[in-house]
A = this chain, B = another copy of it.
Amino acid sequence: MNQKFPLDEEALRRLASILEDTGLTEIEVEAGDHRMRVAKTPAVTSAVSAPMPVAAPAAAQPTAAPSDLAEHEFAVTSPMVGTAYLAPEPGAKPFVQPGDSVSEGQTLMIIEAMKVMNALPAPRAGRVVRVLVQDGEPVEFGEPLLILE
């Protein structure tokens, strides 16, 4: 018997790359009598390896716990460090509220940095699910500001 094993290397490598991108640990694909499975056991140590400052520094306001929400698929994150304002002026109606539908480019809030007011446009059309910051709250770069589905 000299039958070559039909190995589709490209497909395998694509699976590996999908696994990597998605953070999955296993993918199995079957088509007809062909089946492929790739898996990756997560490294154990990385999680515990990081030294922790003993007296966990009391994070001040702007340090706001790096929320997992930043990873949220529909999160709109802050493009700069600054102060978030939800309305055009004190006492005015907020730019957007939960439940609002917005169009792409519509102002969602204002980020003030160095006395400059920077409008934050909606990156896409959608519906505002949650607003994650308070009016006048300092925000970091990359901090999730609202969820726009």
Q: Which residues of A contact B (CB under 8 A)?
A: 1, 3-9, 11-45, 49
Contact = CB atoms under 8 A, between A and B. Distances in A.
Contacts of A37: 26-29, 37
B24 A38 contact: yes
Interface of A (DSSP majority class): mixed
A20 to B, nearest CB: 7
A24 B41 CA distance: 8
Contact of A29 (B32, B36, B40, B44): B36
A15 to B, nearest CB: 7
Given A1-B6, A44-B44, A39 B11 contact: no
A26 B44 contact: no
Contacts of A31: 5-6, 33-35
A40 B13 contact: no
Contact of A11 (B7, B22, B44, B49): B7
A27 B24 CA distance: 11
A25 B12 contact: no
A20 B38 CA distance: 12
Nearest to A16: B22
Contacts of A7: 11, 14-15, 29
